[in-house]
């Protein structure tokens, strides 16, 4: 296998303005959790919108509400609630988009694997040694055997973990947030861009190694 393949998870950027809210693409959430967060954002939007009063008026430098007919600059002091509602709805849309991306990624990467086998860790057959590299490990396999089935299973696992979560599968080395895999010839590199998970990833790979 001479083609270098790199699969990244958790790096699909979504461009949107959320008034300081965290980018959903950077959050460690499953597809279901993203959809639940979208519902919460819609509720926040509705709440903000309910506080908007189209008839409210205030004059610059004055206190209290009420129609202003003379002097000063008239404005609606509840106008900002509409802007807040719009930001919450944009955030909800971003969460829904992220959920769709995760589910589509799983469907694409796991097309050839039945759903009941996606939660099982792939067997690292013919693994000769594990070496630490920046962000994780590189696994050196014996030359000759076809690594395609192992790589296919790894790719599916990463997509499955991102979309469904890792409940009950914490010992699988692939279920680490920010996981990525690069393959070249008989070497498979498994790393994460989340520094707090590197030590755990290395430990899990070595426990899983035959």
Q: Which domain holds residue 62?
A: 24-109
Identify whether residues 30 and 104 lie together within a single domain.
Answer: yes
List pLDDT tens digits, range 107-166: 999 998 888 777 777 778 889 999 999 999 999 999 888 888 888 888 888 888 888 887
16 domain-assigned: no
pLDDT band, residue 60 (cuts 50/70/90): low
Identify whether residues 198 and 124 lie together within a single domain.
Answer: yes
Residue that terminates a domain, selected from 59, 90, 109: 109
List pLDDT tens digits, range 150-165: 888 888 888 888 888 8
Identify whether residues 76 and 156 lie together within a single domain.
Answer: no
Identify whether residues 122 and 168 lie together within a single domain.
Answer: yes
Kindly report the pTM of this predicted structure: 0.69
98 domain-assigned: yes
Identify whether residues 134 and 74 lie together within a single domain.
Answer: no
List pLDDT tens digits, range 84-111: 999 999 999 999 999 999 999 999 999 9
Query: What one-character-per-residue DSSP string does the chain give?
Result: ----EEEESS--------TTPPPGGGS---HHHHHHHHHHHHHHHHHHHHT--TT--EETT--S-S---SSS-EE-TTHHHHHHHHHHHHHHHHHHHHHHHHHHHHHHHTTTS-GGGTTSPPP-TTEEEEEEETTEEEEEEPSSS--HHHHHHHHHHHHHHHHH--TT-TT-TT-STTEEEEEETTEEEEEES-GGGHHHHHHHHHHH--
Identify whether residues 88 and 124 lie together within a single domain.
Answer: no
64 domain-assigned: yes
Identify whether residues 125 and 204 lie together within a single domain.
Answer: yes
Looking at residues 176-198, what average pLDDT do you find?
A: 88
């Amino acid at each position: 296998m001479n083609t270098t393949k790199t699969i990244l998870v958790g790096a699909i950027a979504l461009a949107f303005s959320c008034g300081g809210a965290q980018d959903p693409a950077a959050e460690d959430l499953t597809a279901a959790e993203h959809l639940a967060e979208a519902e919460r954002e819609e509720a926040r939007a509705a709440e903000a919108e309910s506080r908007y009063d189209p008839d409210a008026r205030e004059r610059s430098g004055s206190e209290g509400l009420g129609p202003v007919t003379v002097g000063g600059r008239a404005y609606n002091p509840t106008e900002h609630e509409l802007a807040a509602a719009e930001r919450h709805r944009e955030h909800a849309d971003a969460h829904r988009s992220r959920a769709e991306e995760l589910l589509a990624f799983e469907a694409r990467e796991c097309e050839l694997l039945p759903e009941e086998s996606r939660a099982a860790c792939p067997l690292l057959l013919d693994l000769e040694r594990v070496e630490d590299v920046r962000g994780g490990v590189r696994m050196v396999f014996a030359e000759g055997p076809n690594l395609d089935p192992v790589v296919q299973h790894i790719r599916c696992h990463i997509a499955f973990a991102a979309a469904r979560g890792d409940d009950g599968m914490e010992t699988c080395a692939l279920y680490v947030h920010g996981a990525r895999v690069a393959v070249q010839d008989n070497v498979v590199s498994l790393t994460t861009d989340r520094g707090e998970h590197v030590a755990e990833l290395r430990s899990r790979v070595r426990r899983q190694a035959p």
